[in-house]
Amino acid sequence: MNFKDKDAIYLQIADYVSEHITMGKWQPEEKIPSVRELAVALQVNPNTVMRTYEHLQQQDIIFNKRGLGLFVSVDAVARVRAIRKERFLQQELPGFFNSLFLLDIKPEELLKQYEDFKKTKS
């Protein structure tokens, strides 16, 4: 995983875990990798992964089954989408709109690009 300077590493790992959940790689009520396993896979300090998992537990995206490990919450996909949507609308969309305005990109152009993008994801 390539980390960026703009966000804390534990938040970038939270996005990584959230993406795995929304893409269906980790299903609701399925066990997720242990702190140690994920730390080794991502080549980060286990304390960083522990902080990530605590953050995701606070958001009710994952939960702990004492003695068994961490699992994906039943409504994790909906929670991740709601959280990420709100963050996108508040933090990223204003800059995106500014770029559209400055570059004089019309909604029709944007829609075509988006439709082409969706085809690559199907």
* pLDDT digits 0-9 by tens, 48-59: 999 999 999 999
Q: In sequence order, which residues have a C-beta less than 8 Å from that of residue 8 and are 6 or more positions away?
A: none
Report yes or no: 68 and 30 within 8 Å, Cβ to Cβ: no
Task: Give ∠ CA 50-58-54 in degrees, rounded to 5.
Answer: 5
* pLDDT digits 0-9 by tens, 18-66: 999 999 999 999 999 999 999 999 999 999 999 999 999 999 999 999 9
Which backbone phi and psi does 69 adopt, to 5 degrees? 125, -165
The CATH code of domain 9-76 reads 1.10.10.10
- In this prediction the pTM is 0.82
Domain boundaries, the chain: 9-76
